[in-house]
Amino acid sequence: MADVTKETTAPFWEQKTLDEMTRPEWESLCDGCGRCCLVKIEDEDSGDIHLTRLSCRLLDVGSCRCSDYPNRHREVPDCIAIDPDRVRNLSWLPPTCGYRLIEERQGLRWWHPLVSGNPETVHQAGISVRTWALNEARVKVENIHRYIINDFKDGE
C-alpha cells in the first residue's frame, strides 16, 4: 500500500497558469528584481527599445521595490501594470522575470523567493538591479542616452 503521508503537493506556480492565479499568488510571483522598472528609450525611427541602467524615479534601488506602489500609476503615468496578456506581449520583460518563466513553462529558479524562502536571494544571485541601477532623478534628462546598456549583464 502506498504511504500517502509522503505524497507532496506541487506548489501553485507549477500547477496553475498565470490566468488561474489568485491575486496574492500573482503578486508573490514577482521576484523583486526591479528590472522592469528600468527606464527604456524607444528609437523614434526604428521603434527599437533600448534599455538603460537608470531606474524609474519611484524605485528604491536599495530594496528594488516601488516606493509608492499603491499610487504608482498616478505618480508615473507610463508605469505599466503587468498582467498575463502583457507578459505574453512585452518584448522588454526580462528573461528572468517570474511571470515570464511561468508563462514559458521554464519554472522558477533557485533564487526566486518562492523557491528559496528568502527575499535576499534575488540580490545575492545578481539578478536584481540593486548594485548597478541609478535612479533617474539623479541624472539630467538630456544625458539619458549615456546610460543605455545592451542587456542586463552590461549594467552590472
- Closer of 54 and 56 to ligand SF4 (Cβ): 56
Query: Closest separation between CB of residue 74 and ligand SF4, Å?
Result: 10
Q: d(Cα 154, Cα 52) in Å, to the nearest integer?
A: 10
Q: d(Cα 155, Cα 54) in Å, to the nearest integer?
A: 9
Query: Closest separation between CB of residue 122 and ligand SF4, Å?
Result: 8
**What does the block give as the cell for 59?**
524605485
- Closer of 99 and 147 to ligand SF4 (Cβ): 99
Mapped onto helix, strand or coil, the DSSP state of residue 50 is: strand
- Report the candidate in 76, 27, 49, 59 with the shortest Cα–Cα distance to residue 132: 59
- Closer of 37 and 54 to ligand SF4 (Cβ): 37
Contact 39, 118 (CB under 8 A): no
User: What is the Cα 25 distance to its own chain's centre?
Assistant: 15
Q: Interface with ligand SF4 by CB under 6 A: which residues? A: 30-37, 56, 58-59, 66, 72, 76, 79, 82, 94, 97-99
Query: Closest separation between CB of residue 19 and ligand SF4, Å?
Result: 16
Query: Closest separation between CB of residue 94 and ligand SF4, Å?
Result: 5
- Closer of 6 and 23 to ligand SF4 (Cβ): 23
